[in-house]
Amino acid sequence: MQWISAADAARRFSQVLDAVDRNGQSFIVTRRGRAVACIGPAAIATGAMLFDIVDRHSPDADWARDLRDLREGLDLTGRPRL
């Protein structure tokens, strides 16, 4: 993983994307020495992959309670409720 300043990433954006696309490189983008973003290969998933995961990991008896507890713990301020 290569570190790059935000200014340098902006100046060389096309080259950074080429490095990601061609070589699978990843970059940590910094601003004032602090990491603020990551540029890297996109994670790709398909609907078939999702169905396969669901098939292999079917909900157990506690699934509905766990989902309710998870939703109650989310901070959805300003966002539509799931």
Q: Where are the domains of the chain?
A: 1-70
Hey, what are 58's tokens?
Answer: 């079917």
**Summary mean pLDDT of the chain:** 88
pTM of the model: 0.55
Kindly state the percentage of the chain with pLDDT values over 70: 91
Which CATH entry fits the domain spanning 1-70: 3.40.1620.10, 3.90.550.10, 1.10.3720.10, 3.30.470.20?
3.40.1620.10
Q: Cβ distance 66 to 41 under 8 Å? A: no
For 51, residues 6+ apart whose C-beta sits below 8 A from its C-beta are none
Structure confidence at residue 67 as a pLDDT band (50, 70, 90): confident
Tens of pLDDT, residue by residue over 28-47, are: 999 999 999 999 999 888 88
Q: Cβ distance 41 to 65 under 8 Å? A: no
Q: Cβ distance 39 to 13 under 8 Å? A: no
Hey, what are 28's tokens?
Answer: 């940590």
